[in-house]
Amino acid sequence: MPRSRKEKTKDCEAKKRECCVTPTPCGKTNFKAVRWYYDVDLKDCFTFRLEENCKKNGNLFPNCTSCSMYCKGESEEEAKESCVGFA
């Protein structure tokens, strides 16, 4: 059975609590930009399609490197290495 959002937040191992809240998919309206977010279950950063009607939270980053540094607590060098091809 999938874990609830509350359970995921409680068990989150991210360095910052705001990284524990996954952005809510907002449907396809008017594309604004690609952002990065930290996935609690997979413990890594992934892309998120930001649409015009998306509700923003503290778990949206302009690139993989900033997501990895903030949420995973990686140094800039570590983040660039784990985000090779995505920086």
Contacts of residue 86, Cβ cutoff 8 Å, sequence gap at least 6: 63, 64, 65
- Global confidence as pTM: 0.79
Query: pLDDT per residue over 61-78, tens digit each?
Result: 999 999 999 999 999 999
Q: Class for domain 5-82, per CATH?
A: few secondary structures
Tens-digit pLDDT profile for residues 6-42: 445 556 777 788 999 988 888 777 888 999 999 988 9
Can you list the pairs that 46-54 forms with residues at least 24 positions away whose Cβ atoms lie under 8 Å?
Answer: 48/23, 51/26, 51/27, 53/26, 53/27, 53/29, 54/23, 54/24, 54/26
Residue-by-residue DSSP string for 4-41: PHHHHHHH---SSGGGGSPPPP--SSSEEEEEEEEETT
